[in-house]
Amino acid sequence: MKKCLNKPDLTPYLGQRVRVVVDRPLGSVHPRHPDLIYPVNYGEIPGTLSGDGHPIDADLFGWEEPTEGGRRRSDCRRAGRGRRRRQAKLVVAREGTCWTDEAIWQAAEFQERLFRTRLLRSDTLPT
């Protein structure tokens, strides 16, 4: 798989509808870290490339049920998170839901506590 040298710019995805393929449904166990349980549905944006050479990761907010193997289209208007090590991740909010920064951090803490992370929001980007 081709490796990117730089962390991708997530800002073009903010405010856009994206398709996410879920490969780790809510409640599933991380394949390499059995102490990590996913409190959100987690997947990737097909056809994209993150700095680690894999598609851009996405956490799905607003779904209360696991969506194993599911494809979800939703709005990426709410927030994106950048992670160290050239990897990037998007927070994709279900249409009609609203998430505060605090709620995003709480839901993502299971994984982001291991990384230096910053939160970008579509509603706070310069125009």
Residue type, 32: R
Most confident of 4-13, 18-27, 77-86, 96-105: 18-27
65-72 average pLDDT score: 71
Higher pLDDT among residues 40 and 1, named by residue: 40
Number of domain units in the chain: 1
- Give the domain extent around 78: 11-124
Strands (E), 63-122: 71-83, 88-93, 117-120
CATH number of the domain within which 77 lies: 3.90.80.10
Query: Is residue 115 included in any domain, yes or no?
Result: yes
Looking at the predicted structure, is the pLDDT value of residue 21 above 60? Answer: yes
21-28 average pLDDT score: 92
Looking at the predicted structure, is the pLDDT value of residue 116 above 70? Answer: no
Query: Is residue 2 included in any domain, yes or no?
Result: no
User: Residue 35 has what DSSP assignment?
Assistant: T
- pLDDT band at residue 79 under the 50/70/90 scheme: very low
Please report the pLDDT score of residue 25 as a whole number: 93
DSSP SS3 for 42: strand
**Which residues are bridge partners to 57 per DSSP?**
44, 89
Tokens of 27: 């409640």
Tokens of 8: 């991708």
Query: Is residue 56 included in any domain, yes or no?
Result: yes
48-70 average pLDDT score: 84
Higher pLDDT among residues 96 and 28, named by residue: 28
Query: Is residue 6 included in any domain, yes or no?
Result: no
Buried b (16+ CB within 10 A) or exposed e, 63-74: beeebeebebeb
